[in-house]
Amino acid sequence: MAVKLDVVNRVLHEFGRQSVSAYTDDPTATLIWQRIDDFLPQLLQNENWVWARRYRVDSTPITNPPTTDWQFAFQFPSDYGRMFRVLDGIEYLIMDNTLCANSGQVRYYYNVNESVFANGDYRAMSNWFCDALALFVAARTCLVTTNDAELTLALEKAAEKSMAKAIMFNGMERQIFSAPNEYDRDIII
C-alpha cells in the first residue's frame, strides 16, 4: 500500500463494499479517512517501527532551557514522536519537547509522529503495518458503518493477528538493520 486511499479501500473491502477513487465519493470512505487520522498515532506508538526511525545529531542547544539542572537543552524536530535510543551513554531528560543533557552534542534515534504521513503518502510504512492499520480501522468503524456485531468481532481478531504479525516482521527487520556501525561497534583486536 502506498497511499492513504489504499488503506481506505482495504477497509471498504473488509466491509464488502466497492473501492472508491476518492474518499469523498462515499460517506463511509470519508468516515474511514478521518478515523485513520485518529488511530495512526496510537499504532505508531505501539512499537519502535524500523521504517519510522530517524537519526539525528544535534550540537545546537536552545538558549532558554526548560530547567537549569542540565547544562544543555536541544529542541526536538517537528516530526519527533518518541525516543528510541540516545547514543554515547549520556544521561538525559526529556521535558517540554526538549532533550536536556550535560553534553554539548547529542546523537539519538527517534520514531516519527503522524505528521510525516499527513499528506497521505504511506510509502515509508511497511506493508505489514498498513495491513494492520487497515484492519484496526475496520474493526473500530465496523459496528458504526455496518451494524454487524459478528463482523466487528471477526475484524477485531484479524486486527490483533495482523498487528502481532507486523510487530514480528518489524523485529526481524530490526535485526537486519542493526548491523554494527560507527556508533555502536565492538572492536575486536
Domain boundaries, the chain: 4-49+125-177, 50-114
Q: pTM value? A: 0.81
Q: Is 174 left (phi over 0), alpha (psi -120 to 50) or beta?
A: alpha
**Per-residue pLDDT, 185:** 52
Residue-wise burial string across 136-151, b where 16 or more C-beta atoms lie within 10 A, e elsewhere: bbbbbbbeebbeeeeb
pLDDT over 60 at 99, yes or no: yes
* Cα gap 107→112, rounded to integer Å: 16
pLDDT in tens, 154-164: 999 999 999 99
pLDDT over 70 at 56, yes or no: yes
**Per-residue pLDDT, 183:** 55
How many CA atoms within 13 Å lie on the side-chain side of 172? 8
pLDDT over 80 at 64, yes or no: yes
Which DSSP category does 161 fall into?
H
Residue-wise burial string across 46-64, b where 16 or more C-beta atoms lie within 10 A, e elsewhere: ebbbbebbeeeebeebeee
* Cα gap 134→50, rounded to integer Å: 19
CA triple 51-56-58, angle to 5 deg: 165
Q: What are 46's three cell numbers?
A: 505501539
pLDDT in tens, 118-158: 888 898 899 999 999 999 999 999 999 999 999 999 999 99
**Closest CA relative to residue 106, chosen from 65, 166, 159, 150:** 65
Which DSSP category does 16 fall into?
T
